[in-house]
Structure 1
Amino acid sequence: MLFYFILLILHIFSAMIWVGGMIFYVIVVMPVIRNLEFKDHKLKLLQLTALHFRNISYFIFLIFVVSGTGLLFEKGFFHFESGLELWTSNIGLMFLTKIGLFTVLFLSSLYHDFVTGPKTFVYLTTDPSRHERYRKTSAFFGRFNLLISVSIAIFGILASRGFSIFL
């Protein structure tokens, strides 16, 4: 039982850091960067904060995978005798949805962090139209990732309380 609670605490704290960090970025960092006082340093601040948060994010993703798998194991989802019965239950479908959304989030984050984000900065001085296109795409994926992250957190809260959206 102690192992379960350690995994649960790691999972919850990681979710707090991930979702809280994204919300902090949107409601604090972005408005500060848009301040005219930082006009000359805006892009460097944006790039440095994005790179720092990216490094933290993939460490958090690793914690999510390890702690989430451990939690499911502790709940019996990987035990041979349970078969598919747990996975096809209402709560099992909630966990499968959460896993699916996490997979989408991870792939979307990879695209945002290693394709659109870097290309936004690459094209900044060389190609203004491509820069704007990648900036908008990067912003879309950032918002999309926040929406998916909040959805995953809500599914986790509901499932942990025994509620399911599947009837």
Structure 2
Amino acid sequence: MWVYLICLVFHILSAMIWVGGMIFYVIVVMPVIRNPSLKDQKLTLLQLTALQFRSISYILFFLLITSGFGMLFTKGYLLDGQLRLFFSSNIGYMFILKIGFFLILFLSSLYHDFVSGPKTFVYAERDTVQYERYRKRSGFFGRFNLLLSLGITIFGILVSRGISIF
């Protein structure tokens, strides 16, 4: 029982920090760096905050995965006899959908954090056409990741309450 509660607390706190951090980025950081008085520091501020959040994000991903499977294990869903029953139930389908979305989020985050984001900063001073291309792409993946994270959160709440869309 204690292991389950510890996993649950870590899972909820990790999700709160992840989703809350992305929302904070959108509603606080982005408007602040658009301030004309920060024109010269804009890219530096954006890059430093992105790198800081990136390092925290992958720790959160690890905590979300381990705490999520820890909860499943302590509830007995990952035992041989229960495994097939769980994954063939309506709640199991919701869990599979949630994990599928999480995998898409993880891959999208990897692309955003290690390809499109860094290329945006590389091209910022060299090539305005490429800069604009990667800036838009990074923005798209950032918004996509936020929406996907909100969807995962909703599925998590539904699954925890025993509600299925199937």
- Normalised by the size of structure 1, how large is the TM-score? 0.98
Q: Is 1:79 matched with 2:79?
A: yes
Q: Whole-Å Cα distance in 2 between the matches of residues 77 and 128 of structure 1?
A: 53
Aligned match of 2:22: 22
* Aligned-partner SS, 1:84: helix
Deviation per CA, 1:66-86: give whole Å up to 9, x if none: 101111112222101114111
Aligned match of 1:162: 162
* Aligned-partner SS, 1:126: coil
Q: Whole-Å Cα distance in 2 between the matches of residues 87 and 74 of structure 1?
A: 16
2:127 is aligned with what amino acid?
D
Q: Which runs of 4+ in 1 moved over 4 A?
A: none
- Cα RMSD of the aligned pairs, angstroms, is 0.7
Identity %: 65
Residues 45-124 of structure 1 correspond to what in structure 2 (within 5 A)?
45-124=45-124
* Aligned-partner SS, 2:86: coil
* Aligned-partner SS, 2:142: helix
Q: Is 1:2 matched with 2:29?
A: no
Q: Whole-Å Cα distance in 1 between the matches of residues 41 and 83 of structure 2?
A: 56
Aligned match of 1:134: 134
Q: Whole-Å Cα distance in 2 between the matches of residues 110 and 165 of structure 1?
A: 29
* Aligned-partner SS, 2:40: coil
2:9 is aligned with what amino acid?
I
Deviation per CA, 1:33-84: give whole Å up to 9, x if none: 0011111101100000000000000000010111011111122221011141
Per-residue deviation, 1:127:
1.0
Q: Whole-Å Cα distance in 2 between the matches of residues 165 and 30 of structure 1?
A: 35
Q: Whole-Å Cα distance in 1 between the matches of residues 35 and 124 of structure 2?
A: 19
Aligned match of 2:35: 35
Give ranges in structure 1 of 5+ residues lacking alignment. Answer: none
Q: Whole-Å Cα distance in 1 between the matches of residues 19 and 83 of structure 2?
A: 33
Deviation per CA, 1:131-162: give whole Å up to 9, x if none: 10000000000000000100000000011111
Give ranges in structure 2 of 5+ residues lacking alignment. Answer: none
Shift in alpha-carbon separation, 1:11–1:83, aligned structure 2, 3 A: closer
Q: Whole-Å Cα distance in 2 between the matches of residues 33 and 88 of structure 1?
A: 48
